């Protein structure tokens, strides 16, 4: 048992840093960092403050690359952010990278070697060689499967002649690759609880990074019930950005959300026994 009462299976140590942190913090909360504002000084101060106030409750931090690259000092700010985040807390760089192998190698070098990220998000549209360059040892790679947006035309929902949808196919590819590259997981939006439950049945062991709770309308209880592994209360990293960034007290917002998640996942595990 971990300190919070949830089982830690040795067979699932393929995301060892994330599992270790989730157990130590008693949390599945991923704090999204999408900095807005025109003053570089104020944005940096807000980032530093949010990290300091929420680090106690964070299983991970997820800076969105676009919100940094649009700033003149964006890369330097990302590097400073990595220094502010405690070393034991994973930083997942949300870049949704998705290019062919030699370019993907360069993106991986940027994310891991220049910025110091512990994981990334990847768009699998161009196939295995858009994913594998990021699958370094001890790095977490979350591959897009069923995202939280709801477009008028969604490739992810298109049905295949072979059966299933494009998002199912993405999940199946990641499931297969995970045997050789065990740091792989999926991005699955909280705005589609049925799809989340479907992909959990399809990929019972993989970790899911789940955006969409809060401002995008995802239901927290439905998300935990659909996506949390009932065997150990893990496997789910619930991201929230605006509800913490915009809070008057980010630390209190992170604490309250963590407590809600833990109550729900305790129920999920007990219901499965």
Whether 96 is a known active-site residue: answer yes
Q: How far apart are CA 18 and CA 61, in angstroms?
A: 11
Of the residues 96, 139, 146, 267, only one is catalytic, namely: 96
**243 near 253, Cβ under 8 Å?**
yes
How does DSSP assign 179-242, residue by residue? TT-TTEEEEE-TT-HHHHHHHHHHSSSS-EEE--BSTT-B-HHHHHHHHS-TTTS-SEEEEE-H
Q: In what order do the strands lie in the sheet with 29-33?
A: 60-63, 29-33, 236-240, 208-210, 184-188, 140-146, 119-122, 92-97
Q: Which stretch of DSSP H or E encloses residue 76?
A: helix 74-84
**71 near 40, Cβ under 8 Å?**
yes
**107 near 130, Cβ under 8 Å?**
no
Q: How far apart are CA 117 and CA 97, in angstroms?
A: 13
Tokens representing residue 98 in the block: 């998705």
Residues forming the active site: 96
């Amino acid at each position: 048992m971990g300190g919070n009462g949830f089982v830690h299976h040795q067979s699932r140590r393929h995301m060892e840093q994330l599992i270790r942190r989730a157990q130590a913090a008693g949390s599945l909360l991923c704090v999204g960092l999408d900095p807005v504002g025109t003053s570089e000084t104020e944005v940096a101060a807000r980032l530093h403050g949010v990290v300091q106030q929420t680090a106690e409750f964070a299983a991970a931090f997820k800076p969105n690359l676009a919100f940094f690259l649009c700033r003149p000092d964006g890369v330097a700010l990302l590097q400073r952010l990595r220094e502010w985040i405690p070393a034991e807390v994973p930083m997942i760089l949300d870049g949704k990278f998705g290019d062919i192998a030699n370019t993907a190698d360069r993106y991986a070098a940027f994310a891991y070697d220049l910025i110091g990220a512990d994981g990334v998000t990847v768009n699998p549209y161009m196939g295995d060689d858009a994913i594998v360059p990021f699958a370094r040892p001890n790095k977490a790679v979350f591959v897009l499967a069923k995202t939280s947006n709801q477009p008028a035309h969604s490739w992810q929902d298109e049905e295949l002649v072979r059966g299933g949808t494009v998002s199912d196919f993405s999940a199946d590819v990641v499931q297969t690759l995970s045997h050789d590259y065990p740091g792989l997981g999926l991005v699955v939006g909280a705005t589609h609880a049925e799809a989340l439950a479907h992909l959990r049945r399809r990929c019972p062991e993989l970790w899911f990074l789940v955006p969409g709770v809060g401002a995008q309308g995802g239901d927290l209880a439905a998300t935990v019930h659909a996506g949390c592994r009932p065997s150990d209360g893990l496997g789910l990293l619930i991201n929230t950005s605006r509800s913490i960034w915009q809070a008057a007290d980010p630390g209190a917002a992170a604490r309250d959300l963590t407590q809600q998640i833990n109550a729900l996942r305790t129920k999920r595990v007990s219901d499965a026994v």
